[in-house]
Amino acid sequence: MFNVPLVVLAMVGVFGLVHALFALVLTPRQGDQLLLLFAFIPARYDMSLLAAESWARGWGAAVWTFVTYAFIHANLNHLFFNSIWLLAFGTPVARRFGAPRFLAFFVITTAAGAAAHLATHHGAMGEVIGASAAISGMMAAAMRFVFKRGGPLGLLRTRDPDAYRVPAAPLTTALRDRRVLVFLVVWFGTNILFGAGTIAIPGFDQSVAWEAHIGGFLAGLLAFPIFDPVRDSPTEPDPSDPQYEQSSH
């Protein structure tokens, strides 16, 4: 979270500016109109509704809201928690990917989260807002390399850029790493609790779109190799890999 890349800071800044626009500039009626235009609403994909709306409120919004919903947050608590998680998990991903790939990855995971929510809430009127799906994708991407030997978690506050360039383990290998499995169990368990209503975000009264979180996470996990600029290279056996067996002579 320290020495944060500019692209991550800029993203948090945009979140803050959008929230300030809703909270300080727009009237409640104007805010509702902007939500209709930029929040993700599953009911929008009802063909009869699309046909009855203008292009901007209909087909246009049906396209761009797959991404724009991520920049809107319900209140300061929602904005704060998403910003903190983006700083934590977006930072290592941005350092590895670079700004253009990071932004493209943000778009893909955001859209995947919206698609997952649409698949499970077809026709629902409630709007989806917030960057949690993209942040979930960042978590999945970071998981692919931060546990590797020489990776960011082994640095103890140093700033070695090579730590963010270690070759990622293949997904099949990563899924046999105990630390990765613990991370997955905790992450999916937490989202299941969100879905069951057992836990909630403090100060956030709306239901949590946990299906969007899972959609973004799975997209980040599977799309990581497409965006990853670091290619495998011959290296020493990694003791953190389950297949590595240490022997003494």
Question: In CATH, what number is assigned to the domain containing residue 55?
Answer: 1.20.1540.10
Residue 12 lies in a domain: yes
Residue 98 lies in a domain: yes
Token pair belonging to 210? 């946990």
Residue 136 lies in a domain: yes
Residue 160 lies in a domain: yes
Task: Average the pLDDT over 215-243 and give the result.
Answer: 74
pLDDT of residue 208: 73
Task: Average the pLDDT over 208-227 and give the result.
Answer: 91
pLDDT digits (tens, 9 = 90+) for 168-207: 878 888 888 888 888 888 888 877 776 655 445 555 556 6
Residue 119 lies in a domain: yes
pLDDT at residue 234 is higher than 60: no
pLDDT of residue 206: 61
- Residue 112 binned pLDDT confidence (cut-offs 50, 70, 90): very high
pLDDT digits (tens, 9 = 90+) for 151-163: 777 544 456 777 7
Token pair belonging to 75? 């209140």
pLDDT of residue 236: 44
Is 144:224 a contact under the CB 8 Å cutoff? yes
pLDDT digits (tens, 9 = 90+) for 4-14: 999 999 999 99
pLDDT of residue 201: 54
pLDDT of residue 248: 36
Mean pLDDT of the chain: 83
Residue 246 lies in a domain: no
Q: b/e string for 77-101 if b means 16 or more Cβ within 10 A? A: ebbbbbbebbbbbbbbbbbbbeeeb
Kindly state the DSSP code that residue 170 receives in the 8-state scheme. Answer: P
Give me the residues paired with residue 62 across strands. none
Residue 66 lies in a domain: yes
pLDDT of residue 247: 35
pLDDT at residue 122 is higher than 90: no
Is 177:147 a contact under the CB 8 Å cutoff? yes
Q: Which 3 state secondary structure label does DSSP give 40?
A: strand
Domain count, the chain: 1
Residue 248 lies in a domain: no
| Side-chain half-sphere CA neighbours of 183 within 13 A | 19
- Residue of 108 and 210 predicted with greater confidence: 108
Domain around 134:
6-227
pLDDT of residue 210: 83
- Residue 41 binned pLDDT confidence (cut-offs 50, 70, 90): very high
